[in-house]
Amino acid sequence: MKRYLVSSFIFFLFLCGAILLIYSRCIQIQNDHLQQHLFTEQAAIRSSIHTYSLLAQAINDEVIQTEQVLKLVHDITNSHGKEQNILRGQLYRLLDPVYQRLRGKQVRQLHFHFPDSRSMLRFHAPSRSDDSLVAVRPSVVRANTDHEIVNGFESGRIFHGFRHVYPLSYQGEHIGSVEISTSFYQIRNEFKHLSEDGLNTLNNSNKSQLAFLLYRPEMWNKLFDDLHTFYQTTPLHPDYIIERADLISSLCSEKISESPLVDRVQQKLSHSSEVARKLKQHRSFAVAVNLRGTTYTVVFHSVQNTLKQHAAYIMSVTPEPFIATIRNDGILMGVLATVLLTVILLYRFRFLAADENEKRQALFLSNISDNLGTALYTTNHEGTITFTNTAMEVLLGYQQKEMLGRNAHELFHQPQDTDDHSPCICEEVLRTNTTIRSDAYYFVDRTGALFPVEVVCSPLRDHKQTIGTATIFQDISKRREQEEQLQQAQQELISANASLKNLASHDGLTGVYNRRSFDEQVERLWRSAARHKQPLALLMVDIDHFKRYNDLFGHLQGDECLRRVAQTLQKACKRPEDFVARYGGEEFAILLPLTGHDDSEHVAQRIQAQIGSLAIEHPGNEKNQRITLSIGCCTCLPDGGETVQDFIFAADQCLYRAKEEGRNTICCCRLQGDEQES
C-alpha cells in the first residue's frame, strides 16, 4: 500500500509539474503575444493621436491664425463687460460654422482662453466662460506663460481629450490661447480605421472595441459639479470612471454607441485581482479574458497628461482566436500529459502488483524452502552462492549473509574421497547439464566438522539458458549410522539364518547333512540322474557295534566318535557335489552323483581306509578293537523303472548284507530294473 501511495504521490507530482510546465509555457506564449498586441496597438494609438495633432495644427494655421479672428480675440481680451460679451458672441458667430464643420472632422473642442488662462469661449459649451483654468488646465497655463504649443492628453471641466493648445498673439501682443482638442472617441474612430486597415490584419482578428477609463483622482475635482452625474464608476476599479454616452450626445451631439462587449469584459475583469493590481501601477498592460466561449485580448494603454502623470486608460477589447488556440493546445497537451502519466501510473501499478505477487511467491517459496527441513542453495555459473534457505544456515552454522556471494565449493563442499582435485558437484552439473543425485558427498560445517550429505544438484534454467545450479542436500549422518546398524543387523540375521539353515539341514552333532536334507537331496539327485541319464551312487554307512562303544565310553565319547567318523566321511568325499548325511543313530548316507559302481566301491574302500587310519579304539569291537564301518553301496542309472525308495532300500539291503557278512565290510549292488546285481 505504501508503494502505491508513493507511486500515486510521484504521479501527482509529475502531473502537477507537467501541467505547471505546460501552463507556464502557454502563459509565456500568451504574454508574448499580448505584449506584441500591446505594442502594435500603442503604435496605432500614437498614430491616431498624431493624425489629429496634424489636423489641429492645420486648423490653427488656416482658421485661427487669420487677421479677423486674431483681431476679435484681441478686442475681447482688451474689452470689458457687455462689450466684451458682444465681441465674444461675434467670435462665436464667426467661428461656429467652422466649429460645426470641424465637429464633422472629429474635432471636439475649440476653446479660446484669456492670457490669464480664464476661459474665453468654449464652442462646445458656449454658456460657460470666464472661469479660471489655472487649477485644472496646466496645458493652457503653459501656453499662456511660456507661449509655447502644448500637445497631450488633459482632463478638463467638461471634456477630456487630447489637447493641442496654441498661444495667440496679435501684432506682437500675447492675446491668449486657443485649444483644439479631440476626444477619446475621435481617437477611437481613427484607431478603428487603422485596425480595419492593418492592425487586425496583423492580428488576424476582428474589430477592436474601445473604452476610455478616466483616472478619477486626476480629473474628478476639475469637473463642473453638475457634470458629475454624467460619469459612472467602472466595475473594474473604483478609481476609474467612464463618461456616459448621453453626456457626449447631450453636450456635443456626437453619436457614441455604447459597447455591451466592453461592459461585459469590464464586469468579468472586475473579479481579477491581477487587473486591479496592474491598474494601480498605472502602466500599460494586456490580459486575455474568456467570455462566453470567446477569448479576447484586453489591452490597457496608459494615457499620461501633459504633466506626465497617469490620467486615463484606453481599454481595447479584441477577439483573439490565437490565444484561444494557445489555450486549447495547452488543454490538449495537459490532457495528453495526464493520459500519458496515467498510463505510466497504471503500468506502475501493474508492475507493483506483479512485484508483490512475485514477492508473495518468493515468500511462499522461501517459507516452503525454510520449512523443508532440507537445505537449499543456488549458485551462479561461477559457483557463487546466490540463495540459501534457513535449513542450510542450521546445517552449516553460517548465516545467510555470510554465505551469499561466496563460492560454495570453497566454503563447504568436501570432495567424496577428501581429494581436493575432485570436481565440484555444481561444476559437474553445469558441465553435464544434468541432475546429479548422490549420497556420497561430505560437506563441512562452520566448525570444520565433516558430515555426509545426500545431495541433489540440478541445473537452474532461465528459459532455455542455464544460469546456475540449484542444490538441495540433507545431513545423512544419522541415516548413515542407522544404515550401518541395519547392515550389521542384516549380516547378523544372514548369519543367523545361515546357522538356522545349517541347523535345519545339518546334523547338530556331526555337522553333516541330516536325514531331512538327505531325503530332499536324494529326490533331487534321483530326478537329475534320471533326466540326464547319469549314474547315481548311494552309500549307507553304519558304525560297527556302536551301542557297545556308548556303553563302554559313554555317550559323550560316543558323540565324539560320531563327529570324527562324520568328518572322515566328509573328507573322503572330495567332490563338491558329493553329499554326506547322518541317516540316523550311528548310520550315515552318502550320495555320489555321476558315480558308477566301481567308483562308488572305490570311495567306500577309501572311507574304510581313512576310518581305519583314525584308529579309534573300540574294545567292544571284538574283532578289530577299533572303530570300523559297514558300508552298503548301491549304484543306479535311473530309467523310470525304479523309484528312489527302491534305490534306498537296495543300498540298505547291501548294508544289511555287509553287517551280515561280519561287519567292516563293503557290499555293493547295481539297481537296474527289477534286478539287483551284487
Partner 1 sequence: MFRILLALFIFLPLSSVFAASPSSTLRFSPLPMLSEHLVKEQFLSFCSSLSELTCQNVSLIYKKDYQDLLKALHNDELDLAYLGPLPYVMARKTDPDIIPVVRFLDKHQKATYTCSLVTFGHNHPNLDADYPTIALTQPYSTCGYLVTESLLSPYQHSLNDCPYTYVGDHEQAALAVIRGDAALAGVKTTIARRYENLGLTILDESAPLPGFLLVANRRTLDPATIDQLRSDLLSLNHAFSADQKEKPEWGKMIRYGMIEAHDEDYDAIRALLTRFPVPEILP
Q: Which residues lie near partner 1 (CB under 8 A)?
A: 82, 85-90, 92-93, 96, 121, 126-127, 129-130, 226, 229, 244, 246, 249-250
Q: How many helices (H) and strands (E) does the chain have?
A: 20, 23
By beta-carbon proximity to partner 1, the closer residue of 81 and 640 is 81
Q: Please provide residue 315's backbone torsions phi and psi, each rounded to the nearest 5 degrees.
A: -105, 120
* Residues contacting 56, CB < 8 A, separation 6+: 107, 164, 180, 181, 182
12, 309 in Cβ contact below 8 A? no
Contact 232, 244 (CB under 8 A): yes
Question: What does DSSP say about strands 375-380 and 465-475: parallel, antiparallel, or unpaired?
Answer: antiparallel
The residue from 586, 587, 601, 642 that is catalytic is 586
Work out how close the CB of 360 gets to partner 1 at its nearest, in angstroms, rounded to a whole number.
Answer: 53
Query: How far apart (Å, rounded) are the C-alpha atoms in residues 153 and 227?
Result: 20
Q: Which amino acid is at 88?
A: R
Helix ranges (DSSP H) in 125-197: 138-145, 184-194
Least distance CB 129 / partner 1 (angstroms):
5
Nearest to 177 by CA among 77, 67, 98, 106: 77
d(CA 99, CA 122): 11
- Backbone angles phi and psi of 215, in degrees to 5: -80, 110
Residue 490 CA to residue 639 CA, distance in Å, equals: 45
Query: In the block, which residue shows the cell 504521490?
Result: 9
Give the Cα separation of 101 and 649 in Å (integer): 179
> Closest approach of Cβ 100 to partner 1, in Å?
10
Nearest 5°: the CA angle 299, 300, 303 is 140
CA distance 406 to 309: 85
Query: Locate cell 552309500: which residue?
Result: 539
Q: Are 303 and 46 in contact (CB under 8 A)?
A: no
- Give me the least distance between CB of 144 and partner 1, in Å please: 20
d(C-alpha 155, C-alpha 159), whole Å: 7
- In angstroms, the Cα distances linking 275 to 42, 266, 534 are 19, 10, 137
Closer by beta carbon to partner 1, 232 or else 434 = 232
586 is catalytic: yes
For partner 1, the closer CB: 88 or 301? 88
Residue 483 grid cell? 544404515
Q: Rounded to whole angstroms, how far apart are CA atoms 64 and 61? A: 6
Residues 157, 176: Cα–Cα separation, whole Å: 19
AA identity, residue 145: T
User: For residue 152, which phi and psi values (nearest 5 degrees)?
Assistant: 150, 170
Rounded CA separation 455/375 (Å): 9
Helices 67-77/81-104 angle, 10° precision:
140
Number of neighbours of residue 450 by Cβ within 10 angstroms: 12
> b/e per residue, 404-426, with b = 16+ CB within 10 A?
eeeebbebbbbbeeeeeeeebbb
Name the burial class of residue 255, with classes exposed (0-12), middle (13-18) and buried (19+) by CB atoms within 10 angstroms of its CB.
Answer: exposed
Alpha carbon distance 347, 351 (integer Å) = 6
DSSP-assigned states of every residue in 28-65: HHHHHHHHHHHHHHHHHHHHHHHHHHHHHHHHIIIIIS
As measured in angstroms, the least distance from the Cβ of 128 to partner 1 is 8
Catalytic residues: 586
